[in-house]
């Protein structure tokens, strides 16, 4: 676990600059690292928060825990004015990063004065079955097809598929043990015959692999590239494989790696799987996170529930309206 939080600084990263230029920044970093490991926070969250903490620290050229309330307000105002859409995301994670730091360092007075972030309930983008078929049928490397198949068939997150080990696959029970879920929660998900066949065929070609995708190198966070491992299967590597397939398939929706997880949940729901079971397979702690898929399930099958259509049919009228 602690290996995932080891930092592989790159020469020009914002965190490297803060560590070199701001006295005491490295000590703050180590305190946050211990706190996050003890509380089961993911390494990706640690990386994200640390970037934003380093950015505000560099902006004022001082240790982040000594930044005043006035300076925080000024910096957040600057982020809001800088760029409308991108800065909103940057603004949000700056607030989250500062909030976590103040709580970890027991600076409750500063924490209480941070602005609250309003959550927008955007509906997830979901692919149709036809689009999933298009995606899997484009020309691509075998390992990329398997990667996309796992994301869709098992609803895996990006990190989960990258950390999947051969020992986690039970071909007899037709299940996959996901050990590195959000908040380090584990779960077991089923897999079908076609995925089982693909995995067996792929693994047999490898030379005694530990990881399904033969990841090599030390488990260190690369704070600039976004990957925990070598660049072939870094987070950006997985994103690239999915984006290339989407482009070749001619799909124009805004598709990300997580879109396949949304699609997995929605298609299960449309197939009649109980929402509570879907919650377990997704690894959601709260059922509310799973209920969002009720809003994006296929409304086409409920056409007969149209009140006007039902009324017109009862009266024998043309549903297209009269000329």
Residues with a catalytic annotation lie at 157, 182, 258, 261, 284, 293
Q: Which residues of 23-47 are buried (b: 16+ CB within 10 A; e: fewer)?
A: eebeebbeebbebbeeeebbbbbbb
E-state strands within the chain: 169-170, 175-178, 187-190
The sheet carrying 169-170 orders its strands as: 169-170, 175-178, 187-190
250: left (phi over 0), alpha (psi -120 to 50) or beta: left
R_g of the chain computed on alpha carbons: 23
DSSP assignment of 220-261 equals -BBTTTTBSS-GGGSHHHHHHHHHHHHHHHT--S---HHHHH
Do 301 and 266 form a contact (C-beta atoms < 8 A)?
no
Cα separation, 233 vs 211, whole angstroms: 11
Q: Which residues of 257-281 are buried (b: 16+ CB within 10 A; e: fewer)?
A: bbbbbbbbbbbbbbeeeeeeebbeb
Cα separation, 145 vs 151, whole angstroms: 10
**What secondary structure letter does DSSP report for 211?**
B
């Amino acid at each position: 676990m602690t290996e995932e939080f080891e930092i592989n600084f790159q020469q020009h990263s914002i965190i490297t600059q803060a560590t070199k230029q701001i006295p005491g920044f490295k000590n703050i970093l180590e305190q946050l690292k211990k706190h996050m490991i003890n509380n089961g926070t993911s390494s990706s969250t640690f990386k994200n928060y640390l970037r934003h903490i380093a950015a505000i620290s560099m902006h004022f050229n001082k240790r982040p825990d000594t930044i005043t309330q006035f300076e925080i307000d000024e910096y957040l105002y600057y982020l809001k004015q800088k760029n409308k859409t991108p800065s909103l995301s940057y603004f949000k994670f700056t607030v989250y990063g500062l909030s976590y730091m103040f709580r970890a360092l027991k600076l409750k007075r500063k924490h209480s004065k941070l602005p609250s972030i309003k959550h927008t309930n955007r509906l997830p983008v979901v692919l149709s079955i036809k689009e999933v078929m298009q995606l899997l049928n484009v020309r691509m490397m075998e390992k990329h097809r398997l990667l996309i198949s796992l994301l869709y068939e098992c609803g895996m997150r990006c990190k989960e598929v990258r950390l999947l080990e051969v020992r986690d696959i039970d071909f007899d029970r037709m299940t996959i043990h996901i050990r590195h879920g959000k908040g380090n929660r584990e779960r077991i998900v089923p897999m079908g015959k076609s995925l089982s066949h693909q995995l067996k065929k792929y693994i047999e070609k490898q030379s005694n692999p530990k990881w399904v995708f033969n990841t090599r190198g030390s488990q260190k966070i690369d704070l600039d590239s976004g990957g925990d491992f070598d660049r072939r299967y870094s987070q950006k590597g997985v994103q690239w494989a999915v984006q290339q397939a989407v482009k070749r398939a001619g799909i124009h929706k805004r598709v990300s790696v997580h879109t396949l997880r949304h699609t997995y949940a929605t298609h299960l729901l449309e197939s009649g799987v109980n929402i509570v079971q879907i919650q377990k397979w997704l690894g959601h702690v709260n059922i509310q996170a799973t209920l969002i898929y009720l809003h994006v399930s296929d409304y086409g099958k409920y056409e007969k529930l149209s009140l006007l259509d039902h009324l017109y049919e009862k009266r024998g009228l043309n549903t297209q309206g009269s000329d």
